[in-house]
Structure formats: C-alpha cells, structure tokens
Chains A and B, each alone.
Chain A
C-alpha cells in the first residue's frame, strides 16, 4: 500500500498553494492550469508521459480520493479527464484536481492507476468499453478470479436485495473465502445529445429515486460553474433545506430496510412510519413525494413560506420525540448488536485506498464530509462536523453496526442543520431568474466543462457536464454516483464473513445500483 505524505503539515491546503507546488515540480509538463474558487477546484492539463508520475506525486500532499474518469472527443485526440480530490486529513480541507490527458486516436493507451487507486477499477473498465482506451498493464476482474469448488451466486434477484446485484461467493463450508461482485447489471443510459440543460434537470431527477434532488443540484451546480451563474442567498438556503430533508428520508428508509434484511420487521415498520412525516413535509414544499422537480438554474422553483416553515419545525419536533425510541430500540438491542458487529469490516486504511465516500467512509473512522471540506450552498454559513463512530463508540470498527450508527446520528445532524437554516433564512428572491427563456439564453453562450460535486446521502456525488457555445444541448454528461466508489470495496468486506451475512454486507453501504450504472450509449453499442 502506498503511504500518504503530509507535505503541507499544519498549513491549510488550498488551491493556490497546491498549484504553485505542482508548477514548481512539473514545470512545462503542465500544459494549462486553471483555479476555480467556487468549487475549490484545480483544473490542469498534463502531457501524456508525465501523467503517471504526476498522480504518484499527488500522494505526497495528503490522501487522494478518486472520483471518476470522463472522456471526450478533442479532434485528433481523445481527452481523458481524471477527477480526483486531495483531502487534508487533519484540517478537514479538500481540493479537487482534474487532470486532463490528451491521447492520440491511433494510440489510445495510458498507464493504469489501479495499483495506486483501486477505486478506479469500474471507471477504467467503462472507459475501456466505451472509448477503446487500453489501460496498461491490463488486469482481470475484482478479486483476481475464483478458484474454490463451491461458488454460490447471491442475486440478481434475492429476497434481501432491493436491486439487481450479483455476488459470486467462494465458500469453504459457511465461510466466504473469496468474492466477486458484479453490480453493473441494470445499465441505463444518460444520453443527452438531444436535450437542453433544462430538460436534463428532469432526467437527472430520474437517475435515482431516493436521492433525486442531490443529483439535480449536482447537475445544476456543474452547469452554473460553466455559465458563472450566481445563486441568491435564499435560493441556497432552500436548496440546503431540501437536501437535508432528503438525507433524512434516505437514511431513515435505509435504516428500516437494513432492519428488514436482518429480520427485524417491526423496526422496519417503525422506520417507515417515522419516514412518512418527512415525506409529508417534502410534499407540502414541492408537491411531490419522490421526484420533486424544484431544481432550477440560479436558484430553486419553490419558496419556503411561513406556513411551510412552521410545518418543517413541527416535523423536527416530531423527529426529536419519535426517532429517539427507534434508535434506542435498534442500537441497544443485544441481538442487533450481535448480528451487525464485526460484519463487513472495512478498516480506515482500506477506505482511504479504495476512495470510499460518505457514511461508509465515516464509519471507517475517516473525517471526510464535503459539507465541511468544500462547503457549497448554505453550508458555508452552517458548520457541519463529520459524524464518526469514534466520537460515540470510542473506536471505529468500520462494520455494519458503525455504518448504521453513523447514518442514524446524521439524521440528528440534519435536523440541526434544517433548524439553523430556517432560523437564518435570508430575505430576497429564491431564484436569480425565473423565466426559462432568459436562462436558456444565458446557457446557450456558455462554453466549457463543469464539475458539480456535493455530499449526497450516500457519499459524494459527481456530475461532469460539457457545454459548447452556440449549441443549446448538453454535449456530454458524466454521472458518478457514490455507490460506484463504495461498491469497489465489497470484496474486501466479504473476507471472513459467512454466507448468511451476504445481504447485510451488500446492503450495509446503502447501495444504489440505479445511480451507479449511468453511461452514454451511442448507436447500437
């Protein structure tokens, strides 16, 4: 395993300092460099031979998190963009680094970074399939193949799974000795060549039914990034409120679902009852339960009226009263503890290495949270501390129980955030421009690539969007959902577990297969 340096020591890591350090080291190999302050991002292009040393060099600063590879057509070349983040472990800062490499079309070959960042596996495979880029040296699938006599498939249709995933488990008696997981089953396309950005919002919403608003905000932020659009303060606060309501509904739904998986049906019903309150508030605010349709460029499409604010406060009171018993019942139950403790362990070193994100990473003891490390929307005014199990259990085990506890604790955190956002809700317009024609006029002239990255309920959600000036449609749109990063470490979690743990381990990262298999499909391929 590669060690992570701490070159910046106690100093804050920021874009400018990092850019200067990289420029000094790589001089003319860096073909272009741009700092985007709004997203805390660094965009640079590097010559192909020094790509691999460049990525190796990034490990000197602090731990590197891999998001996604996006590819684009650039005349005689194919441009691969590696979207990475450097997290500063001790100071809770993050800098996004996008490294673009141009490869000639007659020789599409690039060194693989799988050995440095194993989380890049699915992305590399996808680019290989879609663009014909070869990654050297080539590798075979996750876990390096199976050898034992008994291999049991779990899924794609299984009582404990809500979505199609297949796990082939290699067994020695009841013990799992090896695992190969294939999540890429329900592969759907997000082909947007014929759609303009406003239509794309409604497609983004339907990427995932549980975290639909976070996908919308991610897309919207990526496009606002290109068009340099400003969002009024009230719009930012309303976005934050809806995002946090969505986080509550997602976490409560997952807690219920995982209880059902371990056979604790009454807790599932309890969770579903509690969840309906937040669905009511969301329905009141936006008119819909699931696909809310309130995201818009430069703001939102709904206001928080005093009546709604009162309803939200009522919901917060209800949760403080009713959610506590649920937490006590589940977390203090000796059977639940025995069932979930020590199942699906992921240590913090492995979590760093596999670029794990969100509550899964926090359950392994990493203090990573984009709401703190690169605050967006109203999080710049509302401080958020990452919830990690060592704060309330004393030690991070990185198992299913820790993941459960972290998510349950985050519900309380979200309640606090919503309350603070309601208290300091600024006056003014909730959208910069409400006329869609005027918004489209502004977006038509936008040109460039934008990166939207936010903390969705399951981890960091990444959208990369390319717009061309004069063309009203979206040119290219790459979605990387958090499950894509978290799913790569399933084989690690299966080590030493038993066959009966399989549904619990698969569910413990809150998988969303619908989110993760999104790629542009062209023609008949």
Chain B
C-alpha cells in the first residue's frame, strides 16, 4: 500500500461485528488478538460492536453450516448500507465459499490468518469505501453496486 493511501485510511472509523458461522475458533482468537493492544485495530478507529444494526463491517469466520445460513442472511440484512462483508480464514474464502450465501468484499486467506493479515484486510475495506465515495456514492444504487 502506498503511503498516500495509508494516510487516507487513518481517519476512518468502521464498526465491526463478528459472526462465527461454524468456524473452529482459530480465526476468532486471531480476531480477538487483533482487537488487543499489540495489533490494536483501535488505531484506525475501528471497534467491536454487539449488534448488526450498529455495524459497518461484518467479519464472518468459518464455513457456513446449514443451521447458520438463514441466520447469517438475517444478520447481513439488518446492517445499514453501506456495508461490507469480510471473510476471514480459508474455510470461508475457498473451502466452502461464503460468497454463495452473502456477497463478500474482502477475503483474508490463512488457516488462521495472522492478525496483521486481518488488519490489512480491514484497510482494504476502507479503500473500497473510499473508491466508492470518489465515484459518487448513491445510497439508492447500493444494491446495484453490490
């Protein structure tokens, strides 16, 4: 990432919700580490929220098991636009792709990915939001964009 882009990432503040849809906990511990002081995603103003109605980004870990499929859709539909979905871990990225259930914006590979990789994925979300803003973001056209 260029330094110019990095500076643009800094003032953004995305609120994150995580959803475990059948993962082995490995990615979840790394996400917990990402919120911790060493990797400290709070630097970017990002924080963990407990409800999809407050969230901008949904982090999904694991394959989508049958039972969680409908629930995941409901959670995703409750989020206000503009919203982003990040698939963390190889299960959701390439094992049994999450993309068939809900549209995915960023995939973070790894089993599990290191916290740095997840932070990198989150900055890509910010860049995507920025490019949308530059191209004249229209909320009514949001569904068409996705």
Contact = CB atoms under 8 A, between A and B. Distances in A.
B19 A209 contact: no
A290 B26 contact: yes
Name, among B21, B25, B29, B67, the residue most crowded by chain A CB atoms within 10 Å (CB to CB): B25
A514 interface: yes
B33 A212 contact: no
B75 interface: yes
Nearest to A269: B37
A186 B20 contact: yes
Contacts of A515: 25
A209 B75 contact: no
A272 B35 CA distance: 9
Contact of B36 (A159, A163, A269): A269
A387 to B, nearest CB: 23
Given A156-B68, A157-B75, A291-B112, A164 B20 contact: yes
Interface of B: 18-30, 32-33, 35-38, 49-51, 62-63, 65, 67-68, 71, 75, 111-112, 114
B65 A209 contact: no
Contact of A272 (B37, B51, B75): B37
Contact of A512 (B25, B67, B114): B25
B38 A156 contact: no
Contacts of B23: 186, 209, 514
A300 interface: no
Nearest to A215: B24
Name, among A186, A272, A275, A515, the residue most crowded by chain B CB atoms within 10 Å (CB to CB): A186
Contact of A159 (B30, B35, B50, B67): B50
Contacts of A212: 26
A82 to B, nearest CB: 28
A210 B29 contact: yes
Contacts of B65: 185-188
A273 interface: yes
Name, among B19, B50, B51, B75, the residue most crowded by chain A CB atoms within 10 Å (CB to CB): B50
A160 B30 contact: no
A170 B15 CA distance: 33
A501 B88 CA distance: 30
A276 B20 CA distance: 23
Contacts of A279: 33
A188 B22 contact: yes
Which 8 pairs between the two chains have the least Cβ-Cβ distance? A209-B26, A159-B50, A272-B36, A186-B22, A209-B25, A514-B24, A273-B37, A290-B26
A512 B50 CA distance: 20
12 contacts: A157-B19, A162-B28, A164-B20, A186-B20, A186-B67, A187-B67, A206-B24, A210-B29, A269-B36, A272-B36, A276-B33, A515-B25
A291 B111 contact: yes
B87 to A, nearest CB: 16
Contacts of A186: 20-23, 62, 65, 67-68
